[in-house]
């Protein structure tokens, strides 16, 4: 047997046996988690807004506070995060791969893509699967805290936002705008 063939055979047999990446399955799983997280998050925000107004609900648009986030992390090692090119919370700042995906999405938008047509993405990232799903300003309620100050965002809410998030860049949005990404990861 020629030496090159032997070497190739050795290299192939020494490679770690890895299950092939099921991209469609990963996208489906990520979308299910993102949908559940959105529902849990916005149900809380909406209930608080209806009862006490948007300024009181500001503390409830945080993913960190969600029971679902904790339980999924405990059971499946799933990490749920959001990120954006126009950040409100510093803890949502993108890591390298999130920045890569944000740049891709912004390039698609600059090229004329409609926010509603932006695709999800799933890929292998080290020993994890990374999943990204665009988040849109998909209902008028979002504008109470992400719309135009003085128009949709009232002055009390602006005060609370300015106090809690000094570098806030997440106002001035309109209905249908791209707002950011769900970034969900789990062990491969
Ligand atoms: C009551 C006010 C309020 C409403 C209503 C609201 N948000 Fe937020 N949003 C916030 C606050 C506050 C944060 C920062 C949360 C944190 O500290 O983690 C935030 C953060 C986010 C982030 C994470 C990125 C970042 O900049 O930190 C996204 C994405 C987001 N909001 C989208 C939405 C969408 C979409 C809606 C409507 C479905 C919505 N928000 C409705 C207050 C609100």
Cα(141) to centroid(ligand 1), Å:
11
pLDDT of residue 65: 67
Q: Count CB atoms within 10 A of the CB of residue 89.
A: 18
Per-residue pLDDT tens over the stretch 45-98: 999 999 999 999 998 888 876 778 888 887 778 999 999 999 999 999 999 999
Per-residue pLDDT tens over the stretch 5-50: 544 444 555 555 567 899 999 999 999 999 998 998 888 899 999 9
Nearest CA to ligand 1 atom 35: 137
Cα(50) to centroid(ligand 1), Å:
16
Residue 185, C-beta contacts closer than 8 angstroms, at least 6 positions apart: 78, 79, 125, 128, 129, 130, 131
Nearest CA to ligand 1 atom 39: 142
**Residue 88 in tokens:** 């409100």
Q: How far apart are CA 20 and CA 29, in angstroms?
A: 16
Nearest CA to ligand 1 atom 15: 62
For a mutational test of ligand 1's pocket, the pick from 46, 51, 61, i.e. the residue with the most ligand atoms closer than 8 A to its C-beta, is: 61
CA dihedral sign, ordered 110, 116, 117, 120: positive
pTM (2 d.p.): 0.89
Residue 122, C-beta contacts closer than 8 angstroms, at least 6 positions apart: 23, 26, 27, 30, 129, 130, 131, 132
Q: Is 144 in the pocket of ligand 1 (CB under 6 A)?
A: yes
Residue 1 has pLDDT above 70, yes or no: no
Atom of ligand 1 nearest to the CA of 54: 1
């Amino acid at each position: 047997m020629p030496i090159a063939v032997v070497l190739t055979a050795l290299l192939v047999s020494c490679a770690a046996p890895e299950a092939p990446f099921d991209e469609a399955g990963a996208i489906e799983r990520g979308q299910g988690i993102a949908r559940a997280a959105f529902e849990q998050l916005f149900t809380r925000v909406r209930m608080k807004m209806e009862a006490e107004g948007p300024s009181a609900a500001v503390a409830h648009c945080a993913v960190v506070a969600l029971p679902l986030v904790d339980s999924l992390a405990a059971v499946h090692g799933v990490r749920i995060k959001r990120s954006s090119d126009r950040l409100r919370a510093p803890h949502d700042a993108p890591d390298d791969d999130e920045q890569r995906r944000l740049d891709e999405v912004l390039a698609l938008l600059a090229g004329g893509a409609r926010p509603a047509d932006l695709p999800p993405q799933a890929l292998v990232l080290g020993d994890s699967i990374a999943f990204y799903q665009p988040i849109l300003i998909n209902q008028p309620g979002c504008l109470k805290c992400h719309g135009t100050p003085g128009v949709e965002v009232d002055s009390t809410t602006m005060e609370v936002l300015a106090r809690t998030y000094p570098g806030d860049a997440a106002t001035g949005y309109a209905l249908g705008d791209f707002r950011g990404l769900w970034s969900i990861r789990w062990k491969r």
